[in-house]
Amino acid sequence: MKSLIKLDKIQSGSYLTNEIVKLKNQLYAFEERQEKAAKYLTELEWLSNELKDMPEFDPLKHLIAFRADIFE
């Protein structure tokens, strides 16, 4: 009977170790996604600022005539 108790403790310890390792890996993955999100947020802010500086496009003002000869 004692051997079964020891075996259960070993399996339990192994189970806990595996769970800790899984959680640590999840934490690493979360931190990696968090770093990527911060990087993408910085890039989005840069792009937003660049777009604000561009003049607004008015298709009626910049109307280009259709050229039928390109299909001949």
Q: Cα torsion at 37, 42, 48, 53 (round to 10°)?
A: -170
47-56: per-residue pLDDT in tens? 999 999 888 8
pLDDT for 10 equals 53
22-71: per-residue pLDDT in tens? 999 999 999 999 999 999 999 999 999 999 988 887 777 777 788 888 88
CA separation for the pair 2, 66 (Å, rounded)? 90
Q: pTM for this structure? A: 0.53
5-24: per-residue pLDDT in tens? 444 555 556 888 889 999 99
pLDDT for 35 equals 98
User: What are the structural domain ranges in the chain?
Assistant: 2-71
